Structure 1
């Protein structure tokens, strides 16, 4: 399937076309912002492109700009409406990264001390400096090409 078409069995495409129910809080020509079916807290929203984009690697710059602008608006709205102590912006691509719906989506999650969200980052470990130098070199070469 190309990214220009709605996925026939994609729940987020169904929300975009109005065939699936959702608590929509905002929409633009390119994006939708709505509550997930099982939010972590009140104020937890998803921002998605209206057209089917499977993951971050299928995302083009125009759509990324539109999604990013709506994530920023949602973050400000969550802060104003729910007064969280913190906020997570989470985008997961691929099953190993916990992407459960194969349509790009960004979670805007209000956070509170002692909430039920797990720790996001593992405890720090020592990493071989040569591996880090190699990674930085490879990334620089890729970005420059």
Structure 2
């Protein structure tokens, strides 16, 4: 796993390098886990790869595995330390998906009954069978063609 790639204009790269402040709670050779500047609740953490990865589409499988392992470890630690009733794990890629720092990061947000987090899913699901069948066909084709 290459961990030396850095973007000098990226705040998360600065945190990884130690030139920006952060409340770091865990680190591995490939990842860093820290509290965001504006956490939703105590226990809300971010997991980032040490190397600059802009979004999910820029992520290689080895780095993805390191991030996934760090997310799992953070989830267990969060449960032990804060005893939430639930947990959201959120990764947003692209501005339209609310990504505000363009260095891949995964939020672990502890959830409690009646907390201030909004409901995340629309009340009505897509129901058009033609659209759903076409989506499944296109995804199967992309996966079998190795376009991922």
| Structure 2 spans left out of the alignment, 5+ residues | none
| Structure 1 spans left out of the alignment, 5+ residues | none
Residue-pair matches, total: 143
Show CA shifts across 1:81-130 (max 9, x none).
00000000000000000000000000001000010101011102452101
* Aligned position for 1:72: 72
**TM-score scaled by structure 2?**
0.94
Within 5 Å, give how 1:44-123 maps onto structure 2.
44-123=44-123
Question: How big is the alpha-carbon RMSD for the aligned residues of Structure 1 and Structure 2?
Answer: 1.1
How far apart in 2 are the matches of 1:126 and 1:56? 24
How far apart in 1 are the matches of 2:116 and 2:40? 8
**Aligned to 2:25, what secondary structure does the other structure show?**
strand
How far apart in 2 are the matches of 1:25 and 1:79? 14
**Aligned to 1:88, what secondary structure does the other structure show?**
strand
**Aligned to 1:33, what secondary structure does the other structure show?**
strand
**Aligned to 1:64, what secondary structure does the other structure show?**
helix
> Is 1:14 equivalent to 2:14 in the alignment?
yes
